[in-house]
Amino acid sequence: MSKAVVARPIDGITINTNLEFLLDDDGEVQMFGSPEQAGSFLAAAGVELEELRHMTIMESCGICRKCGSPLFKSLSPGYTFQCFTCDEDFYQFEQDT
Ligand SMILES: [Zn+2]
C-alpha cells in the first residue's frame, strides 16, 4: 500500500508556492499509512477547508534502494525523488520505481 505525506505552503496561505512537509512532534516528516489516513488526520486536526485546498497529499512513488523506505516526489528542483530516512534527494535513475 502507498504511504503518504502532506506538503503545505511554507508561509501558510500565500501566493508563495514553496512547499514544506508536515512534521510530527519529533520534527520528522509525518508519514501516513495511506492518502486517506492523511486526509482524516488533517480533518481531525481541524484544518480549515481553505487551508486544506493549499495542501498537497503526496503518495509514495517507489521504494528507496538504500533503506527500503517509501520514496516521495522531491520538492527540490532538479531531483525526482527523496527518501526521508536517508534524508537524501535522488535522480530517477538512482532508484527503482
Ligand atoms: Zn532511504
Residues 4 and 47 in one domain: yes
Residues 49 and 72 in one domain: no
> From ligand 1's centre to the CA of 40, what distance in Å?
27
Residues 25 and 48 in one domain: yes
Q: How many domains does the chain have?
A: 2
- Note the Cα 26 to chain centre separation in Å: 16
Residues 2 and 43 in one domain: yes
- Residue 84 belongs to domain spanning: 63-97
> From ligand 1's centre to the CA of 71, what distance in Å?
8
> From ligand 1's centre to the CA of 28, what distance in Å?
14
Distance separating alpha carbons of residues 21 and 94, to the nearest angstrom: 23
Residues 11 and 40 in one domain: yes
Structural contact between residues 26 and 32, judged by C-beta atoms closer than 8 angstroms: no
Those residues whose C-beta lies under 8 Å from the C-beta of residue 92, and which sit 6 or more positions away, are 80, 81
pTM: 0.82
The pLDDT assigned to 91 comes to 82
Residues 7 and 39 in one domain: yes
Please identify every residue whose CB atom is under 5 Å from ligand 1, which is an ion: 64, 66-67, 69, 83, 85-86
The pLDDT assigned to 41 comes to 96
Q: What is the per-residue pLDDT across 46-87, written as a single tens digit (0 to 9) for each?
A: 998 888 888 999 999 999 999 999 999 988 778 889 999 998
Residue 38 has pLDDT above 70, yes or no: yes
Distance separating alpha carbons of residues 59 and 3, to the nearest angstrom: 6
